Chains A and B, each alone.
Chain A
């Protein structure tokens, strides 16, 4: 507040009379418990009503797009983890899909199913966090604890598959890092059973709750025309009755083979968004269950018949020139997180030597494998898509997550643009909160589900 304004307000000098007729400027954030990260909303208040609002972003800007240009195509994958850090798997797969499109390659069937399964688990985590945090800000702390408990069950699944909980870096151009672990389907069934119990409890706690509905129904409304004009996608668009979902409109991976509904509501308020997200979690679980039932096996141990031998005798035989057939024999190496083992590798990664790192057995076991590995790791070699540009959209938890990549034919992306799904609703946030009470800012901001990592990149 400028000094003169403050004096006018405090002392009643100047044009105002000090009777409270002047609008008050209040900055919410950047460090505020309800700001889910750091963001600043400068509001102009008339009493408790918001007259104008200006949203300032950029506090979490980390030069994602610039950093991507500085390294190879694979080097960008860990950065994409940090875009939407609540559902990082979807970002991984979206980025990998655009590089695959530039290269003109396709991943294996099993890999597509794995991507669908992991992306949907991520989506449930994202919606759980969004609803849990919004409910907590309205005083329903129990819901937050329940939902974080459910998210924990799902994060344990993610941990089983990727080896990490948050910054998973699981996607690979041409595949995924590793195959699903043994017994994954049964642990999914167990986790989903517990998640469904939690969702049921939350439904009973919130969906007819007088206090919750008073704060959510009719609050933060955005008309259908404005939602579209602001290019808002995801749950916010479906909450105004437009059943647009990239998974259905332009199916990628194997979404066209799976049955699921696109939940919609018509009111476009915070409550409609809540209902859409609650319904979507059930649909995501349906998708995962179908995908787990349909997932194909792919070749495993078919090409590798023969008695396992230890690496020492492998080398000895090689010295004697007896190399014929040796490559077909699996050698035992300790599994590591850097490369996948050959049988699993063949199932989940595309068979394209320009793109996919060979499994460690091949890298250390044959000169061709070593050369192939070298060509993909060395600076100036690596993945080199032909010159051109491509845009790929996937359905992120907040809406259409787009990647636009320009290739100049070298091993580094010339330009990587991420179209963050929560930027359009943030650009329209002032339209949702202007004219409402300052307390309504909190649930509306919560329903937008701003994720600083992808908003500011």
Chain B
């Protein structure tokens, strides 16, 4: 199935759950609502004609300083899916507000989401509801803040924390 057909099938299946779709430089993208996200992810994995067996990547973007994004939701959590059976890709995005930065977890669908979601929590402070073990992945536990947020200054220093007993 080519990218446009995948987007059409998604829109047909989930209706208003799919907020918008676009195709920039050949990357087909669907923005879905947070409520629809678990269903969309499960359907993408289990529907035989899509067969997205792999969650290639899961990350987030902080749109705080992006031109034209002043009023919109601050974060986007981005899922990159790949199908081994059909050799196609899809990008799914879900927008999250700063006041309520919670997204349903994908750990029960793909175990790799465990680490990816821990990294997003670590770097952006977006929580994943239902995650079994939402610890920081790269930074240490005592670290204050979320470094990939756009309002975290690149030159901020934090004291080194020694081993705790």
Contact = CB atoms under 8 A, between A and B. Distances in A.
Interface of A: 57-58, 61, 63, 65-67, 69-70, 101-102, 104, 226, 228-231, 242, 244, 249-250, 387-391, 393, 400, 402, 404, 406, 408-409, 414-415, 417, 419, 423-424, 426-428, 456-457
Interface stretch (B3-11, B52-60, B94-102): B52-60
B78 interface: yes
Contact of A389 (B27, B111, B123, B148): B27
Given A402-B80, A404-B78, A409 B67 contact: yes
Contacts of A389: 24, 27, 29
B84 interface: yes
Interface centre among B25, B26, B61, B148 (most CB of A within 10 A): B25
B74 interface: no
Nearest to A246: B82
A432 B30 CA distance: 35
A70 B154 contact: yes
B112 A408 contact: no
29 contacts: A58-B138, A61-B139, A63-B147, A65-B148, A67-B154, A70-B154, A101-B25, A229-B112, A230-B110, A231-B57, A231-B110, A231-B112, A250-B87, A387-B67, A388-B25, A390-B27, A402-B56, A404-B59, A404-B80, A406-B61, A408-B66, A408-B67, A415-B61, A415-B62, A423-B115, A424-B112, A424-B115, A427-B114, A428-B111
Contact of A57 (B25, B91, B138): B138
Nearest to A408: B66
Given A66-B147, A388-B25, A415-B61, A229 B138 contact: no
B67 A419 contact: no
A231 B147 CA distance: 26
A406 B24 CA distance: 11
B137 interface: yes
Contacts of B139: 58, 61
Nearest to A387: B67
Residue of B62, B111, B123 with highest tally of chain A CB at under 10 A: B111
Contact of B25 (A390, A393, A427): A390
B140 interface: yes
A391 B27 contact: yes
Contacts, number: 95
Nearest to B119: A423
B154 A58 contact: no
Contacts of A423: 115
Interface in B123-154: 123, 136-140, 147-148, 154
A347 B59 CA distance: 37
Given A66-B154, A67-B154, A231-B54, A388 B84 contact: no
Contact of B24 (A70, A230, A390, A427): A390
Given A101-B26, A244-B84, A391-B27, 11 more contacts: A63-B147, A226-B111, A231-B54, A231-B112, A391-B91, A402-B57, A408-B65, A415-B61, A424-B112, A427-B111, A427-B115
Contacts of B115: 423-424, 426-427
Contacts of A406: 61
A61 B112 contact: no
